Amino acid sequence: MIRKLTLLLICFKGYIDLMSIWMPKLDGRRGAKYQQLVEALAEDIASGRLPPGARLPPYRELAYRLGMSAQTVSRAYAQATRRGLLRGETGRGTFVIDPSRQAASVAPASLARETSGPIDLSRNLPSPSRADGPLRDILREIGATADLRMFLDYQSGDGEGPTHAAAARRWLQECGLDTRAGEVIGTCGAQHGLFCALTGLLSPGDLMLSEALGYAPVRVIAERLALRALPVEIDAEGVCPESLERLCRDRPVRLLYLTATLQSPTTSTMSDERRRRIAEIARRHDMLILEDDVFGRLKDDRPLPIACFAPERTIYVTSLSKSVAPGLRIGFLHAPDALADAVRRAVVLSVWMTPPLMSEIAARLIESGMALRLLLDQRATAQRRQTLARQILGRFDLNADPQGLHAWLRLPDGWNAGSFRAAAEARGVLVSDARDFAAPGVVAPVAARLSLGHEASDARLETGLTRLADLLSQPPRSDALFL
């Protein structure tokens, strides 16, 4: 009798476990099925629905309940593990990781330049900088400074001493801007500059426009600031003046965000004439322009910034991260007098000041001319890798700029973005597809962005591009189209 009760209890516990199995909410999600599953998993972990230490169902069991293939769920678990969301324990199962314990170890490794494993063409970073020698010299010089305490003390509210401000102005002048004292603001990178511009100049409910395909974090910032956002159509040069005019005519628009040079993901660069037209529309409709020129210095024959055509209403943002060294988290923002104070207050609100030691390193690199030499190294590497990409993928529909960090690959008939991304990953190559950049409501083209700078060696890049070329030379598998 006791044995029968024990068996009943075991069966009842199994039934309860089965009924309480985690079931992701996938309705309304876009993308490959395994990606939908990963995003649902990330959201449930963030919301607490899946607490740290929670055990996930075996992937075959979850696949059965979701009506998916076991391979799809297994791929989702593997992707979530790489993202630092899960951990697998042999013989025990798969568990949710405690973010507080993993933050220190996962975050730095997530951008590591691996020499083995998947070839990463998804991260749009410049090549590893050869700044170790100059940095060593600069640190030695700083170490000989009489009073080092100033680098560990609070600075003025904007964090810009005379030397740092002069270096910032010099860099912006080399970008093509005519700068004046009070118009230049130091930031902790370009993304921080974009955040401060939107925080300082816009109010909840204001309407901003951004490219239909573009830098996704800006849309996330807009959402967090309770801004309304609409996409503006783009073509081979970037923002379409006709689409912009139509949107501005139908409603009051506070700000347009765009990347005019080496736009990501499309690689487009606006002509002088297009920039003039955008400036004229902005002036006619009393609209601000937030110009992201983080890639601008990579292109030596670039047109003048839009800020030169509409200086009274353009906030220009750039940094050293894409063009000199990615770990140098120093950016420069240029704003007209009427707008600069509001943006400067946003910098103070968010970080108080840019780190004095980092600002000092950046200033010395600029003033010594070493920043320019490192920039030229980045250009040379970009040109070499773009040549490699054209040699391997040139027979396909590949858009690229010889000096850019990325290429835009339109996929042959028969592929969709999700199937290509999954098939590439199965061959050990990570790419980003157009859906990663599409604004809400925008139908993404069937295309992928290939970032050429992240991999440390040309050899690994060549291997990755060759695998993609081999993949595109074959018709897609029918089962892959449903991933």
Backbone torsions φ then ψ of 304, nearest 5 degrees: -65, 150
Indicate if 313 and 385 belong to the same structural domain.
no
pLDDT above 60 (res 272): yes
pLDDT above 50 (res 11): no
Q: What is the DSSP letter of 114?
A: -
Which segments of 137-287 are extended strands (E)?
184-187, 207-211, 228-232, 234-235, 238-239, 255-258
CATH number of the domain enclosing 476: 3.90.1150.10
pLDDT above 50 (res 424): yes
Task: Let me know if residue 115 belongs to a domain.
Answer: no
pLDDT (tens digit per residue) in 314-367:
999 999 999 998 888 999 999 999 999 999 999 999 998 899 999 999 999 999
What is the C-alpha to C-alpha distance for residues 251 and 143, in angstroms, rounded to an integer?
56
Indicate if 317 and 385 belong to the same structural domain.
no
Q: How far is CA 265 from the centre of its chain?
A: 10
Average pLDDT over residues 413-423: 88
Lowest mean pLDDT among 13-17, 283-287, 332-336, 421-425: 13-17
Going across the sheet that includes 447-451, the strands are 397-400, 406-410, 447-451, 432-433
Lowest mean pLDDT among 8-17, 175-184, 452-461: 8-17
Indicate if 324 and 379 belong to the same structural domain.
no
Cα distances (Å, whole numbers) of residue 28 to 86, 213, 222, 260, 433 = 24, 20, 22, 33, 19
pLDDT (tens digit per residue) in 97-113:
865 444 433 333 445 67
Q: Which of 232, 279, 266, 272 is nearest to 437 (CA)?
A: 266
Q: What is the DSSP letter of 136?
A: H
Indicate if 239 and 298 belong to the same structural domain.
yes
Indicate if 93 and 189 belong to the same structural domain.
no
Which segments of 324-453 are extended strands (E)?
331-334, 397-400, 406-410, 429-430, 432-433, 447-451
Q: What is the DSSP letter of 186?
A: E
Average pLDDT over residues 211-233: 95
Question: What secondary structure does DSSP assign to 387-415, as a single string?
Answer: HHHHHHHTTSEEEE-TT-SEEEEEPPTT-
In this predicted structure, what is the pLDDT of residue 478?
Answer: 57
Indicate if 393 and 447 belong to the same structural domain.
yes
pLDDT above 70 (res 32): yes
Indicate if 297 and 430 belong to the same structural domain.
no
CATH number of the domain enclosing 19: 1.10.10.10
Indicate if 45 and 70 belong to the same structural domain.
yes
In this predicted structure, what is the pLDDT of residue 363?
Answer: 93
Amino acid at 251: R
pLDDT above 50 (res 15): no
Task: Let me know if residue 76 belongs to a domain.
Answer: yes
Indicate if 91 and 143 belong to the same structural domain.
no
Tell me the Ramachandran region of residue 205: left when phi exceeds 0, alpha when psi lies from -120 to 50, beta otherwise: left
CATH number of the domain enclosing 179: 3.40.640.10
Omega before residue 265 within 30° of 0, cis? yes
pLDDT above 80 (res 291): yes
Indicate if 97 and 233 belong to the same structural domain.
no
Tell which of 368, 389, 416 closes a domain: 368
Average pLDDT, the chain: 87
Tell which of 106, 124, 144 closes a domain: 106
In contact, 297 and 174? CB cutoff 8 Å? yes
Confidence category of residue 374, pLDDT binned at 50, 70, 90: very high
What is the C-alpha to C-alpha distance for residues 404 and 420, in angstroms, rounded to an integer?
23
Q: What is the pTM of this model?
A: 0.77
pLDDT above 70 (res 13): no
In this predicted structure, what is the pLDDT of residue 238?
Answer: 97
Indicate if 319 and 427 belong to the same structural domain.
no
Which is more confident, 349 or 180? Answer: 349
Domain that holds residue 45: 12-106
Counting the structural domains of the chain, the total is 3
Maximum distance among all Cα pairs of the chain, rounded to whole angstroms: 91
Indicate if 333 and 234 belong to the same structural domain.
yes
Task: Let me know if residue 113 belongs to a domain.
Answer: no
In contact, 405 and 125? CB cutoff 8 Å? yes
Task: Let me know if residue 6 belongs to a domain.
Answer: no
In this predicted structure, what is the pLDDT of residue 80?
Answer: 82
Which is more confident, 68 or 269? Answer: 269
Task: Let me know if residue 182 belongs to a domain.
Answer: yes
| Interacting residues of 236 by C-beta distance below 8 A, sequence separation 6+ | 268
Which is more confident, 415 or 99? Answer: 415
pLDDT above 70 (res 461): yes
Cα distances (Å, whole numbers) of residue 307 to 41, 175, 184, 213, 336 = 43, 11, 13, 22, 10
Going across the sheet that includes 55-56, the strands are 55-56, 93-96, 86-89
Average pLDDT over residues 6-12: 44
Task: Let me know if residue 464 belongs to a domain.
Answer: yes
Task: Let me know if residue 119 belongs to a domain.
Answer: no
Structure tokens at 8: 């009943």
Task: Let me know if residue 116 belongs to a domain.
Answer: no
Q: How far is CA 167 from the centre of its chain?
A: 26
Tell which of 368, 395, 423 closes a domain: 368
- H/E stretch holding 202 reads none
What is the C-alpha to C-alpha distance for residues 332 and 16, in angstroms, rounded to an integer?
58
In contact, 309 and 276? CB cutoff 8 Å? yes
Long-range contacts (CB closer than 8 Å, 24 or more residues apart) made by 148-152 = 150/356, 151/356, 151/357, 151/360, 152/356, 152/357
In this predicted structure, what is the pLDDT of residue 237?
Answer: 96
